[in-house]
Amino acid sequence: MWGGAGHVRQNVQTGLVTAWGLRLGTFLFLRILKDGHDRRFNKVRDSPGTFFVYWTVQAVWIFTTLLPTLMLNSEKRDKPLGWRDYVGWSIWGLGFTVQAIADQQKWRFKSDPDNAGKFIQSGLWAYSRHPNYFGEILQWSGLWLSASSVMQGKQYLSVVSPMFVWFLLNYVSGVPILEKQAATKWGSDPGYQNYVKNTPVLWPKIF
C-alpha cells in the first residue's frame, strides 16, 4: 500500500489511512491497558477453531476495506485533483472527527465512577447509539470516493469496501453484539427503553 508512484492523491490517501490506524490503534491499546483485557476475545481465546475463524474474518475485513487504497497506490497514471478527492477527503475528515469524539466521550463517561452501571446517552451518543461506527463507515466511504477519481472499468467494484464495512458493523460483528449486550444489561430499564425508541441505531437523528 505504501509503494505508489508518489502522486499527491496517493500520498494523501496513505496519510489518511495511517492516521486512522494510529488513532484507533492507540485508543484500543489504552483501553486494554485500562480494562486489563479485550472483551472481544473473551469467547474466542479458548477455542482454537473459533479463534481461527475470527482472525480469518479480520484478515478479509482488512483487505477488503483497504482495497480502494491498494488499487489507487498501484497506479502509475495520475489525474488532477478534482471534486471527488475534496469531497471524499472531507467525508473522511468528518468520519474521523465523529469517531474520535464518540470514543473519547464514551471513555470519559465510563471512567467516571458516578456512571458505573449506566449507559451513555449524551454527546454524540444522543443522536446515534453507535456514532463511532457511523464515523468508521464515513471514513472508508470518503477514501473510496477519492480513490475512484482514477478508477476505470471493474475497479469501480471496489465500492464493496465501504459497503462491506457497513454490512459487518451493522449486521455481524459490531451493532448486533453490542445491542444484545445492552439489552441484557438494561433491557428492563425504562430509561434505556426510551433511549432505544428515540435514538437511531447507526445513522444519526439530526432533527
Among 53, 87, 71, residue whose Cα is nearest residue 154: 71
Put simply, whether the predicted model's pTM sits higher than 0.85 gets the answer yes
Give the chain's mean pLDDT: 88
Between CA 125 and CA 30 the distance in angstroms is 21
Average of per-residue pLDDT across 29-50: 64
Residue 203 falls within a domain, yes or no? no
Residue 63 falls within a domain, yes or no? yes
Average of per-residue pLDDT across 32-48: 61
Q: Place 105 in a pLDDT band, splitting at 50, 70 and 90.
A: very high
Residue 147 falls within a domain, yes or no? yes
Higher pLDDT, 71 or 48: 71
Residue 1 falls within a domain, yes or no? no
Residue 206 falls within a domain, yes or no? no
pLDDT at 142: 97
> Other C-beta atoms within 10 Å of 26: how many?
10
Per the structure, the complete domain to which residue 121 belongs is given by 8-198
- Percentage of the chain modeled with pLDDT above 70: 86
Residue 38 falls within a domain, yes or no? yes
Q: What is the pLDDT of residues 121-156, one digit of tens each?
A: 999 999 999 999 999 999 999 999 999 999 989 898
pLDDT at 175 over 60: yes
Q: Which residues of 167-199 are buried (b: 16+ CB within 10 A; e: fewer)?
A: ebbbeebbbeeeeeebeeebeeeeebeebbeeb
Establish how many alpha carbons lie within 13 A of residue 118's alpha carbon, considering only the half-sphere containing its beta carbon. 14
Domain count, the chain: 1
pLDDT at 135: 97
Average of per-residue pLDDT across 102-111: 94
Residue 205 falls within a domain, yes or no? no
Residue 14 falls within a domain, yes or no? yes
Among 195, 23, 26, residue whose Cα is nearest residue 126: 195
